[in-house]
Amino acid sequence: MNVGGFLLNIFGSERFAYAVEALLRLALAGFFGGLIGYEREHSHRPAGLRTNILVSIGSALVMLTSGFIFTTYSGTVNVDPARLGAQVISGIGFLGAGTIIKEGFSVKGLTTAASLWAVSCVGLAVGIGYYEGAIIATIFILITLNIVKRIMIHAYKGDVASIVVTDLSSAYEKIIEIVKDFGGSIQTMEILYSDRGASPILDKTDRVVLKAYILSDNRNVFRSISKAILALDEVEDIHNE
């Protein structure tokens, strides 16, 4: 048997070329999803790096599978290459609903849910080979999640403090009182639960992060508020953004 000819038939086949293309597309989809997931992880969101990578790769695989089915069975059966992709767009809602329910103290997690849906669309674009759209969409998603968020925060001249607490109910009330005593107010306060190692300021599973958007007269007042909050027995650490 001619081994060289056998290998040439394998590596020169259309099936092998499609496999190489699939490898590149899945890797690219994972990279784009990872960029967005890193931002979500850094913001202590429930759907972080791994979740976004998996959503993007899975979506890309769906489109690759659709293309493979269309190529293989075209002319034999009636195949719609967009059908599987449409199911991804509608079916990704179960992950989005999970992120909203996880932060059930208030209506939070909507941005994370929307980012998961957008990441699935990026994966679909990469899977079908529409790289330009995927790249542009990834850039716009990152701008929306990061830069636009910062613009919104600074628009009302407030400051953000991520507070690691050991006793949620007690710390919550005391923090509100401290801010009031210094003449400030709390715009919103998010309650974030983090897994071990998911946060640079939180590596214990029995801790909770309170993300407070605090309005104060100036930065000096905010620093005084932060020091007073850190002095609480229920507060383990505080990180000002």
Q: For residue range 203-219, what is the model confidence (pLDDT) as tens digits?
A: 444 678 888 888 877 77
| pLDDT for residue 168 is more than 50 | yes
Query: Do 110 and 17 fall into the same domain?
Result: yes
Angle between helices 131-142 and 14-42 (to 10 degrees): 10
Query: Do 75 and 190 fall into the same domain?
Result: no
State the total domains in the chain: 2
- Looking at residue 200, its pLDDT comes to 42
Assigned token pair, 75: 């002319």
Query: Do 135 and 148 fall into the same domain?
Result: yes
Query: Do 135 and 165 fall into the same domain?
Result: no
Domain closes at, from 135, 153, 171: 153
Residue 202 CB neighbour total at 10 angstroms: 22
**Boundaries of domain holding 118:** 3-153
Supply the DSSP symbol for 237. Answer: E
**SS3 of 103, please?**
coil
Between these two residues, 126 and 110, which has the higher pLDDT value? 126
Domain closes at, from 153, 188, 210: 153
Domain closes at, from 153, 173, 204: 153
**Is the full-model pTM beyond 0.75?**
no
Query: Do 128 and 163 fall into the same domain?
Result: no
Assigned token pair, 137: 């969409």
E strand or H helix at 239, and its extent?
strand 235-240
* Cα 50 from Cα 84, distance rounded (Å): 23
Query: Do 146 and 178 fall into the same domain?
Result: no
Rg (CA), the chain: 24
For position 228, which CATH number holds? 3.30.70.260
List pLDDT tens digits, range 55-102: 888 888 888 888 877 777 676 667 676 777 777 877 777 666 666 654
